[in-house]
Amino acid sequence: MKITGIELRRIAMPLRAPFRTSFGVATSRDILVLRVVTPEGEGWGECVAMSEPRYSSEYVDGAVEVLKRFLIPALPDNADAHAVKRAMKPFKGHNMAKAALETAVLDAQLRARGESFGAYLGADRESVPCGVSVGIMDSIPELLDSVGEFVDEGYVRIKLKIEPGWDLAPVRAVRERFGDDLLLQVDANAAYTLADARHLAGLDAFDLLLIEQPLADDDLVQHAALARRLTTPICLDESIESAEDAAAAITLGAASIVNIKPGRVGGYLEAKAIHDLCVAHGVPVWCGGMLETGLGRAANIALAALPGFTLPGDTSASRRYYDTDITEPFVLADGRLDVPTGPGIGIDPLPELLRDVTTSSEWIKL
């Protein structure tokens, strides 16, 4: 497939409510959207990098820079997703930028042959059960109201963001209010150290599905040490940037569950490789999120329908974050979202909505 040009578009998406994590508060999302154009049609890729390098070292201006300066110029003449992945490999890091480009190419390629992401990746379900990530709040009553709304909407699993000072008490309050049957987990975004092991063991009383990324991104050894001191399973997010990282984490005993985010690992091909590795090791996986628009959400839902995704993901509906999405919204039905079946990611941005949120756009002719 010959790529004739790429559009780099920046959009500003206001969030319905501030989203607070241990690394900061977001009130809107500044997103880079790629559109690759080929003689056979186009393809879309959403870059999940955030405005500031707080979740990981990537940030959206940096993604634009590395794409324009290194990744796009390295595109092979005959671009399919695997060839694009290989061509980008010599450039270290920048997985979110790489994922956006690879995804746009894969979308174009699959649209051209009429195959859906789900079919290509190996989805074996028509819909997926959905969880929701609930930010840190100012008070426990506020948190209970928020969790109550999500439970009423039908979400089958709740994930609470935690940090030092906001951990045992909110978890206890949610457990007491919503009962032992609620599927509940927590995500620390690397906010603790091994010195907190005894405190974190206090979470063991609440029968959590998992604790996500309690310690630093680059510290598999200490996660393994923590795992020996908790009964709550440890799940890694930030630490896993490749299949090699996942293999190391599993071997060390640093993770017994893996959160797979295509952006963090450099694309859907690597995401699928991590899924396959985890299945081979009996390690459950689930699909994480990065406050995606409908474009990124569509592809994530396809991934979440693979057989190894045995835990509900952060694949929430469009209205979790946005009053108005740039695609037809994803709407929760019975706690589930349907896997798109159309060619490629199976959904298109709605031109007027996309135009309304666009802050800049650049065309790179190849």
Catalytically annotated residues: 161, 261
CB of 98 to Mg ion, least distance (A): 20
Site for ligand OSB in 234-273 (CB under 6 A): 237
Closest by Cα among 98, 63, 97, 95 to 84: 98
Q: Which of 167, 270, 314, 325 binds ligand OSB (CB under 6 A)?
A: 314
CA distances from residue 259 to 213, 287, 361 in whole angstroms, order as listed: 9, 6, 32
Which residue matches tokens 């028509």?
A: 126
Closest by Cα among 55, 49, 60, 18 to 213: 55
Q: Which residues bind Mg ion (CB under 5 A)?
A: 187, 212, 237
| Binding status of residue 232 toward ligand OSB by CB under 6 A | no
* Candidates 87-95, 163-171, 287-295, 326-334; binding stretch for ligand OSB (CB under 6 A): 287-295
Q: Which of 97, 106, 110, 291 binds ligand OSB (CB under 6 A)?
A: 291
47 CB-near residues (< 8 Å, 6+ apart) = 31, 32, 33, 34, 60, 63, 96, 97, 99, 100, 263
| Binding status of residue 96 toward ligand OSB by CB under 6 A | no
CB of 115 to ligand OSB, least distance (A): 26
Site for ligand OSB in 133-152 (CB under 6 A): 133
Of 38 and 185, the one with the shorter C-beta distance to Mg ion is: 185
DSSP for 23-51 reads TEEEEEEEEEEEEEEETTEEEEEEE---S
Q: Which of 55, 150, 155, 268 binds ligand OSB (CB under 6 A)?
A: 55
CB of 289 to ligand OSB, least distance (A): 2
Beta bridge partners of 211: 186, 234
Angle at 288 between CA 282 and CA 291, to 5 degrees: 175
| Binding status of residue 192 toward ligand OSB by CB under 6 A | no
The rounded distance, in Å, linking the Cα atoms of 11 and 294 is 13
* Candidates 1-9, 169-177, 285-293, 344-352; binding stretch for ligand OSB (CB under 6 A): 285-293
* Candidates 65-73, 84-92, 286-294, 352-360; binding stretch for ligand OSB (CB under 6 A): 286-294
| Binding status of residue 289 toward ligand OSB by CB under 6 A | yes
The rounded distance, in Å, linking the Cα atoms of 34 and 109 is 15
**Interhelix angle 220-227/243-252, nearest 10 degrees:** 40
The residue ranges that bind ligand OSB (CB under 6 A) are 55, 133, 187, 189, 237, 288-291, 314, 316
